[in-house]
Amino acid sequence: MTAIPHNIQIQATGRRKTATATVILKPGKGEVKINGKDIEFYFPTFVHRWEVVKPLEVVEGTKKFDILGKATGGGLMGQAQAMKLAVARALIKYDSSYRSSLKKEGLLTRDPRMKERKKTGQPGARKRFQFSKR
């Protein structure tokens, strides 16, 4: 598959736990906006910001693409990881030659782990009520 023309926007979705992220990737100068805010204001810690931009660093496209993202649900880390998957998927749609390097870094795998449901007759998923012999 050949690369998509440089004047187009590419959309992709990523999920993690209960968080969902939709990303629009377009050629630009490296601006990242999430829910209308700059990445520095939306994700206060470096770890969250690094998660989002990691796929761009792998393909050396940090200053080549602008990202416009929308994140909903979950917590900040779940949203950051959902954004990471969405950005990686968008990069593959942009240029399929990025696939091998992104796959090697494990950026194309959706993390399937979810919170376990609470069972009836128990206070939590695994926790039991206190047992009294007498």
Q: Write out pLDDT tens, residues 83-93.
A: 999 999 999 99
Residue 40 lies in a domain: yes
Domain count, the chain: 1
Q: Which pair of structure tokens corresponds to residue 69?
A: 């993202």
Residue 115's pLDDT band (boundaries 50, 70, 90)?
very high
Residues listed for the chain: 134
Average pLDDT over residues 6-34: 92
Average pLDDT over residues 126-131: 93
Average pLDDT over residues 27-51: 93
pLDDT at residue 7, rounded to an integer: 74
Residue 117 lies in a domain: no
Beta sheet of 19-27, edge-to-edge order:
10-16, 19-27, 65-72, 32-34, 37-38
Residue 2's pLDDT band (boundaries 50, 70, 90)?
low
Residue 129 lies in a domain: no
pLDDT at residue 5, rounded to an integer: 65
Structural domain including 42 reads 10-104
Residue of 104, 93, 103, 106 whose CA lies nearest to 25: 93
Residue 55, domain CATH: 3.30.230.10
Mean pLDDT (the chain) is 92
Residue of 71, 66, 80 whose CA lies nearest to 32: 66
